[in-house]
Structure 1
């Protein structure tokens, strides 16, 4: 009688793709949690103040969030690669003044926006070159360029100030008008958000950003052009900061040498609160946009509830610390789950 041995199925350790899917699920849950908190906060405020979500109230909420959403989108791309750009506030300020200065000289609004975006992209290119080719930590590089750009801005602007009466009516109108309660600026921000989100998820170069953030060494060994991807991330971040500068000018019609001061800290907070891991490789630009909307809504919610706006900065700091703590806890739990899966598969293989 012939005995046929039953083949033993070979078990392997969890693949990187399986780990990535698990991490993606965790951070999507983070985004849903941020969205739930935002909705609850708005509902509670509306119940306390029935005028809060009036047509003008909704429009103001969206307008206030527009610039932060744009800059947070660019910052999220950089943070996903396990880096950071602290110069975005300075870039926003100098780009806003460049656009205003161009308009004062008789330039067209569209060309002014292009000037702002190009200037922002140029500073992003500088940051990317220093980080990727100079091998200097991003925190150090962008902290340095923050002060460099701010210094250039202060010398160039001086005591001058651009006001709305010196700008074309059409440009200022674009910054305030919209379709029903949805401003044109918000529609533009959503369009940019969708394009960047689609790029990160649907193009190989976009997915490379996540691979780079997960493990720069492994990404390099896998043949990913690390320097090129870093340069791309910083150029996108700088360009969106420049675009936000032009829209800031359209929204407020007022720019001076202090425009954008301290903005970088709010941007980083929005990105991390929105579920983009500061250690790179996880999160999405949609989460960053939700974080931006949450932080800007807090600025409107507190006064509506009769709370002093002095608390806004403190609350933003608390949210940032909580988000970092949650990221650390989730990272440890995900690592633990993956280790247990690997141990179970090794046991099954040797059984």
Structure 2
């Protein structure tokens, strides 16, 4: 009589399955926590001021969230690959001023062409970051901290203390910045379209999955034949391109553009990503979690003034959220490592 036995799962496979299951549980718990925090914050603010949930207030929140969400999508791709891009706000400012300048200096220029100029500026800045980091092997934190100041300095040099007012820009361009479809701002719909595209790319496309592999273990990814430099370069180009698109939308929404456009936004972008569950050490997280983080940060920035909270504490809250999210990621990593060591001991 022949006895058929089911092949046992190798220890390494069990470890990977356990790690994935635990990570999935943690990320789901964090997403649920973000939703609960969002509901509680909105409810508390609405009870303090019923106008907080007026149609105009909701549109303002969605408009503010659009830019944060857009840049968070690009930042997610970079952070998943164990990188960081601190220059996104400076790239946004450079793109916004470049787009506004082109439109003001060439009145007959089609708006889509000017928008392409702004997006191209962002892509070029992202390529600079990518080449320096992926091929120059400069740490991402150092490289993008440097380009943060370089790109911002370039904006100040080009602006020369001047600004471009709304009266110098085409009416159609400005109208688009506040246009709505069924009450939802176009800018927010564009951000959602980018969110879905990036989410699909990271989940199903090979290059997107490669970024997770690089972030999880770069040496293992290299041994597996993953082209690490080109993947990292692509992630930074996407981040720069989306920051460039954010600059175009910034100019359309606000109309008046000067050298300080987007100044300080990088803190909110990083906060949205790490609070949304994208591990700052790379290898895990999703762009949809980052979207929840972006929405939560936007609501916080809009709700705290309504609640009469001092501006200092508004920034302190954002900083505290970043620290708490990183601490949680580190705790999860330590628990995973301890769990894997125990399983190894049981196997052997």
Q: Please indicate, yes or no, whether the TM-score normalized by the shorter chain is above 0.5.
A: yes
Say which SS state the counterpart of residue 279 (structure 2) adopts.
coil
- Distance in 2 separating the partners of 1:187 and 1:8: 50
In the TM superposition, what whole-angstrom CA distance separates every residue of 1:29-53 from its partner, at most 9, and x where no partner exists?
2222112211221122112221111
Give the match for residue 208 of structure 1.
210
Give the match for residue 245 of structure 1.
247
Give the match for residue 310 of structure 2.
308
Give the match for residue 336 of structure 1.
338
Give the match for residue 235 of structure 2.
233
- Distance in 2 separating the partners of 1:102 and 1:78: 30
Matches for 1:277-316 after TM superposition, within 5 Å: 277-316=279-318
- Distance in 2 separating the partners of 1:182 and 1:303: 24
Going from structure 1 to structure 2, the CA distance change for 1:23 and 1:163 (only over 3 Å counts) comes to: same
Say which SS state the counterpart of residue 281 (structure 1) adopts.
coil
Give the match for residue 121 of structure 2.
119
Give the match for residue 67 of structure 2.
67
Say which SS state the counterpart of residue 188 (structure 1) adopts.
helix
- Distance in 2 separating the partners of 1:5 and 1:177: 70
Going from structure 1 to structure 2, the CA distance change for 1:227 and 1:8 (only over 3 Å counts) comes to: closer
In the TM superposition, what whole-angstrom CA distance separates every residue of 1:292-326 from its partner, at most 9, and x where no partner exists?
11111111111222223332111111111111111
Give the match for residue 182 of structure 2.
180
Supply the RMSD in Å over aligned alpha carbons.
1.9
Q: Does 1:57 align with 2:52?
A: no
CA drift of 1:17 comes to 4.3
- Distance in 2 separating the partners of 1:320 and 1:342: 33
Give the match for residue 146 of structure 2.
144
Give the match for residue 78 of structure 1.
78
Alpha carbons 1:64, 1:296 under 8 Å: kept: yes
Going from structure 1 to structure 2, the CA distance change for 1:303 and 1:8 (only over 3 Å counts) comes to: closer
Give the match for residue 131 of structure 1.
133
| Structure 1, unaligned runs of 5 or more | none
Matches for 1:29-48 after TM superposition, within 5 Å: 29-48=29-48
- Distance in 2 separating the partners of 1:337 and 1:38: 32
CA drift of 1:110 comes to 1.2
Q: How many residues align?
A: 344
CA drift of 1:113 comes to 1.5
Say which SS state the counterpart of residue 278 (structure 2) adopts.
coil
- Distance in 1 separating the partners of 2:5 and 2:130: 53
Q: Does 1:317 align with 2:326?
A: no
Give the match for residue 167 of structure 1.
169
- Distance in 1 separating the partners of 2:6 and 2:292: 49
Give the match for residue 28 of structure 1.
28
Q: Does 1:97 align with 2:97?
A: yes
Say which SS state the counterpart of residue 83 (structure 1) adopts.
coil
| Structure 2, unaligned runs of 5 or more | none
TM-score (norm 1): 0.93
Alpha carbons 1:273, 1:323 under 8 Å: kept: yes
TM-score (norm 2): 0.94
- Distance in 2 separating the partners of 1:298 and 1:86: 22
Q: Does 1:12 align with 2:24?
A: no
